[in-house]
Amino acid sequence: MRLRLSDATTSAVLLEHYRAQAEMCHQMARMTVSPFKEGWLEFAAEWTKLAREQEENAKSAGSEMLAGESISANSENDG
């Protein structure tokens, strides 16, 4: 049996994963020396970018859901 997560849960899990990966890359950058340090910082920047994008997507999906719920509620009241 497969477990299906809600979109909000999936989004939260991805966001946390991306943030954790960025932090791990920052830690690796602190522990290493050039030229490898720059590579780890680039990876951290990419993970951080993914986290920001995921957060923005979650916010816009949340507002769309709220807008849909209010439209649905208004339709029920009209009928």
Residue 21 resides in a domain: yes
pLDDT for the residue numbered 21: 98
Highest mean pLDDT among 9-13, 31-35, 40-44: 40-44
Residue span of the structural domain in which 27 resides = 14-78
Q: Is the pLDDT of residue 8 over 90?
A: no
Cis amide linkage into residue 35, ω under 30° from 0: yes
Report the C-alpha dihedral over residues 27, 28, 33, 34, rounded to 10 degrees.
-110
Residue 22 near residue 51 (C-beta atoms within 8 A) = yes
18-37: pLDDT as tens digits: 999 999 999 999 999 888 99
Q: Is the pLDDT of residue 3 over 90?
A: no
Residue 7 near residue 61 (C-beta atoms within 8 A) = yes
Name the one residue in this structure whose structure tokens are 């999906």: 61
Indicate the number of domains in the chain: 1
Q: Is the pLDDT of residue 2 over 70?
A: no
Residue 3 resides in a domain: no
Residue 6 resides in a domain: no
